[in-house]
Amino acid sequence: MSATTQAPAFTSDPETRRRLGRRRALIDAGVRWFCLGATVVGLLFLASIMATLLWRGLAALDFIVLTQEFQPTRYGDDTLPKGGLVHAIVGSILQSGIAILIGTPVGLLVGTYLAEYARGSGFGHTVRFVSDILLSAPSILVGLFIYQTVVLPTGGFSGIAGALALAIIVIPVVVRTTEDMLQLLPNTLREAVVALGAPRWKMITLVAWRAALPGIVTGVLLAFARIVGETAPLLLTSFGNNVLSTDLSRAMASLPVAIYQQANSGFPDLIEIAWSGALIVTFGVLAINIMARVALRPRK
Amino acid sequence: MGERRRIGETGDLVFAGLCRGAGGFVLLLLGAIIVTLFIGGLPAFRAFGVEFVWGLNWDPVEGREEFGAGVAIFGTLVSSILAIIFAVPVAFGIAVFLTELAPPWLRRPVGTAIELLAAIPSIIYGMWGLFVIVPFIQYNIQLAFGEQLAALPLVGFLFQSNNFAGTSLFAASLVLGIMILPFIAATMRDVFSQVPPVYKESAYGLGATRWEVMRGVVIPYTRISVAGGIMLGLGRALGETMAVTFVIGNANRIATSLFDPTNTIASVIAMEFPESLSGSLQQSALLAIGFLLFVISFLVLATSRWLLRPRLK
């Protein structure tokens, strides 16, 4: 601040002042161009990812990909049947769905505790802190944890282990949105309900939750979008499967893991299928995110 | 009336207990993750002692098994720090553009587009990195300028490599930098927009340019939160798995050059754990480096939260 504000005040020579003014204007213009450039670069990354996904993903995306199970490569022999990703799509929806069913109630209760009961309490601060750590902690470590506590004792990779790993990732996401949404409610609403003689738990479940419902649902949607693309924890828990299976006690396919395995297979036809899977996952995730944002937009 | 009141009180006790119990469950969960990783890694810690942390050998072949976390820890830290170096200037530019420069109608769509970068799954970044960034580094940087860069005085060794595959520390850092960009940019934008307008208006009133207002008012006012946002990005980068696994080259050696392949803790776990035998020393070593990653991430994320705490209130 010092160098920039004192100079004009102590310089009476018009030539020096003019030169200084030009220098300041130049620096300012340079910074503005830099900021514009940085934003364009950021948008270009997004555009490049989208373009790559569309270009490579649409090439192989067809009815077969959406309806058939995995088939080995037909590289060099076009008479072999073409494979698809239906096993992975079903596995992903199943595991993510169960994870949401397990993680949402826990996250909802924790978020409620933080917003309604724990304002200013030490235990509440600790819970909030730990939940925030879990929100950003490496997801592969959750996979290791479930491997040690579920996969090893039960004797093998399973769909339920995958769902549990994803549920751990769901909890902190739901905690954060639930707490934020409940904090937004005016206290006069709570006071009005309690003044009518309603016990606190009825005030929370019948009024506060209902008032915050759109926000809470949005949080659950965002949690779903987050886990549908998770690969690392599933690699260590449900591992992947090449056939359509709904048996939660056995290894189960998932879209991200199937993409990972086929993208690394080295066969061009399987890599093409991986790209179409990547296109499905990404556009699903982005569609949910955009919907959530529209739903949460403050109405005027 | 008395009957109803009692029911209300019991309901309150049960519901408050449920909520508090769920909170306690979250604490237990984090504790259980740490303890499980540590116990799983214990055989490796016992077999190699403290040297495990900086040992450079990683040999899972039966009979001559030897494990050290040195290369993976080095790769994790260096790739994440490089990612921060790439991401921070761009994130700063985006945040300034969104809070100070862009016309109001442009702010929401551009801000949303940048935030969407954070929603794209890690594996997609990996594939995109492998098919777009890696060839770009290979042809447009390394093959085009590699010799000139390696001939530079003092810093030349950073570009001197006999790996021309493109999968490298540089590719991993670049992809990581793009992945954490939206997190840092969003934090910066949020704290920049919280600066009281009166402060900025006073500086403008004195004749300051936009840059002078940024440098003299906005940055000093927000620097602690900005540091918190950068730490949050660092914490994210440390644990990124799939994207890094695709582009880092997965070689257990210290990268002395940006173009060398190396590995990170998360990429080693993703590559080797699904194929390791349960109960083997290799699996224990993988759990042990997982524990070390947890400790590092915890410290970074806790610091980030501590720096961001004025904003959280």
Compute the distance between CA of residue A39 and CA of residue B95 in angstroms, rounded to an integer: 8
pLDDT for position A176: 94
CB-based contact, A5 to chain B, within 8 Å: yes
CB spacing of B273 vs A236 below 8 angstroms = yes
Q: Collapse the DSSP code of B63 into the 3-class scheme (helix H, G, I; strand E, B; otherwise coil) and give the result.
A: coil
CB-based contact, B103 to chain A, within 8 Å: no
Contacts of B14 in chain A (CB under 8 A): 201
CB-based contact, A85 to chain B, within 8 Å: no
In this predicted complex, what is the ipTM? 0.92
Residues of chain B whose pLDDT is less than 50?
1, 313
Compute the distance between CA of residue B20 and CA of residue B14 in angstroms, rounded to an integer: 10
Among B residues 188-207, those touching chain A with beta carbons less than 8 Å apart: 206-207
CB spacing of A25 vs B209 below 8 angstroms = yes
What is the nearest CA distance from A101 to chain B, expressed in angstroms? 15
Contacts of B26 in chain A (CB under 8 A): 106, 110, 127, 130-131, 134, 171-172, 175
pLDDT digits (tens, 9 = 90+) for B162-178: 888 889 999 999 999 99
Q: Collapse the DSSP code of A250 into the 3-class scheme (helix H, G, I; strand E, B; otherwise coil) and give the result.
A: coil
Which one of B132, B278, B294 has the shortest CB-CB distance to A48?
B132
Q: Which of A286, A225, A284, A236 is nearest to A260 (CA)?
A: A236
**Threshold 0.95, pTM exceeds:** no
Which one of A46, A113, A142 has the shortest CB-CB distance to B113?
A46
CA–centroid distance for B217 within its chain: 29
pLDDT for position A6: 45
Among B residues 64-83, those touching chain A with beta carbons less than 8 Å apart: none
Among B residues 156-175, those touching chain A with beta carbons less than 8 Å apart: none
Tens digits of pLDDT across chain A (300 residues)? 444 444 445 566 788 878 888 888 999 999 999 999 999 999 999 999 999 999 999 988 888 888 898 988 888 788 888 888 999 999 999 999 999 999 999 999 999 999 999 888 889 999 999 999 999 999 999 999 999 999 999 989 999 999 999 999 999 999 999 999 999 999 999 999 999 988 999 999 999 999 999 899 999 999 999 999 999 999 999 988 888 989 999 999 999 999 999 998 889 899 999 999 999 999 999 999 999 888 777 654
CB spacing of B273 vs A147 below 8 angstroms = yes
pLDDT for position B153: 82
Compute the distance between CA of residue B85 and CA of residue A41 in angstroms, rounded to an integer: 15
pLDDT for position A13: 79
Which one of B24, B40, B120 has the shortest CB-CB distance to A282?
B120
pLDDT for position A293: 85
CB-based contact, B295 to chain A, within 8 Å: no
Compute the distance between CA of residue A175 and CA of residue A114 in angstroms, rounded to an integer: 9
B268's tokens: 């080693």
What percent of chain B lies above the pLDDT cut of 90? 74
pLDDT for position A3: 45
pLDDT for position B292: 96
pLDDT for position A99: 97
B236's tokens: 């994210």
